[in-house]
Amino acid sequence: MTSATAGRVRRTTARVRRTGRLRRTALPYLLLLPALLMELLIHLIPMVMGILMSFRQLTQFVIRHWSRAPWTGFDNYSLAVDVNAPVGADLLRSFLTTCQFTLLSVGLCWLIGTSAAVFMQDTFRGRGVLRALFLVPYALPVYAAVITWGFMFQRDNGLVNHVLHDQLGMSGEHTFWLLGDNSFWALLIVSVWKGWPFAFLIVMAALQNIPKELYEAAALDGAGTWQQIRRITLPSIGPVNQVLVLVLFLWTFNDFNTPFVLFGKSAPQAADLISIHIYQASFVTWNFGTGSAMSVLLLLFLLLVTALYLLVTSRGRSKADA
């Protein structure tokens, strides 16, 4: 090292040391500043407002001056949870429908996604094409995909009735799929069609991290394919599955786009998911205060479920580590 470079290095390190202290304290905050401002504007202020609004009687007449609307304490909440009155009974029904729908949809998405990922773990002819094809439902814009399903579920000119009734001859009458009880199943099919590729993507990524040697050793020990899947593949993706299931749960529970495009502003009772229900309370029947109270209750429920889930899964994991 020449003395000139040594001198430059010494000068640089001295400068780094001098300004280092200030940098260490102020710099991260400066870097965070845009994010903090945005978080404040798009998350924190709206959330505080939402909570404040849930304590007021807000209708379309006072909405533009919402802070002057009459303060009603917990009235909106008691209205929302009073299951003996129409509002509370409807909310409870919508909540239970959403729970049922979410459990089925997440279960099926997970099952189909995991199976597809496991089946496509090793190479075979056409694997690349299939993989790209399977990602199409995920890549299609929600409304384009859901509108197409809506077309397929049309009573008179849809594919579903054409196949079920005209081609397979199941019952003479054409069925309503987007009205009445069947709408639950129509929504579920669309939701699973759209949702499973995400599970497929995540599980596939997790499978890539399993060392090939494990399978080779198992095969040499005489374990068959199915045994390898049960003993190696499935246990290896356990931790990833925990995150995956939580994410799928939150997305499905909060999903607004799918039912809204399929049914419009008011879904049939059997498919009246909670997001649509709150939207309707707020923007169709103009009870913004009640709508806000329902939103806050939904948020509390989701926080509770997430906390419980994380508690249970992290306990399971630390037990496994021990």
Q: Which of residues 127-166 bind another protein (CB under 8 A)?
A: 130, 132-145, 147-149, 151-152, 156-159, 161-162, 166
Q: How far is the CB of 180 from another protein (least distance, A)?
A: 20
Return the residue of 230, 306, 316, 320 that touches another protein, per CB under 8 A. 306
Among positions 51-70, residues that touch another protein (CB under 8 A) are: 53, 63-64, 66
Amino acid at residue number 266: S
Can you read off the two tokens belonging to residue 98? 């959403």
Q: How far is the CB of 84 from another protein (least distance, A)?
A: 25
How many of the chain's residues bind another protein (CB under 8 A)? 103
Q: Which is nearer to another protein, 84 or 220 (CB)?
A: 220
Q: How far is the CB of 226 from another protein (least distance, A)?
A: 7
Nearest to 199 by CA among 232, 234, 241: 241
Q: Which is nearer to another protein, 89 or 310 (CB)?
A: 310
Partner residues linked to 56 by β-bridges: 71
Angle subtended by helix axes 238-254 and 182-207, to nearest 10: 150
Contacts of 243 (CB under 8 A, 6+ apart): 202
Among positions 186-225, residues that touch another protein (CB under 8 A) are: 193, 201-202, 204-206, 208-209, 212, 215-216, 219-220, 224-225
Give the Cα separation of 285 and 129 in Å (integer): 48
Q: How far is the CB of 83 from another protein (least distance, A)?
A: 21
Return the residue of 12, 60, 100, 314 that touches another protein, per CB under 8 A. 12
Among positions 75-134, residues that touch another protein (CB under 8 A) are: 112, 115-116, 119-120, 122-123, 130, 132-134
Give the Cα separation of 291 and 280 in Å (integer): 8
Q: What is the DSSP string of 201-269?
A: HHHHHHHTTS-HHHHHHHHHTT--HHHHIIIIIHHHTHHHHHHHHHHHHHHHHH--HHHHHHH-SS--G
Query: What residue spans of the chain are helical by DSSP H?
Result: 3-39, 45-53, 75-81, 86-119, 127-134, 136-139, 142-152, 159-161, 182-207, 212-220, 225-228, 234-236, 238-254, 257-263, 274-279, 288-321
Interaction of residue 71 with another protein, rule CB under 8 A:
no
Q: Which is nearer to another protein, 84 or 308 (CB)?
A: 308
Return the residue of 1, 4, 34, 73 that touches another protein, per CB under 8 A. 34
Among positions 241-300, residues that touch another protein (CB under 8 A) are: 243, 247, 250, 253-254, 256-257, 260-261, 275, 278-279, 282-283, 288, 291-292, 295-296, 298-299
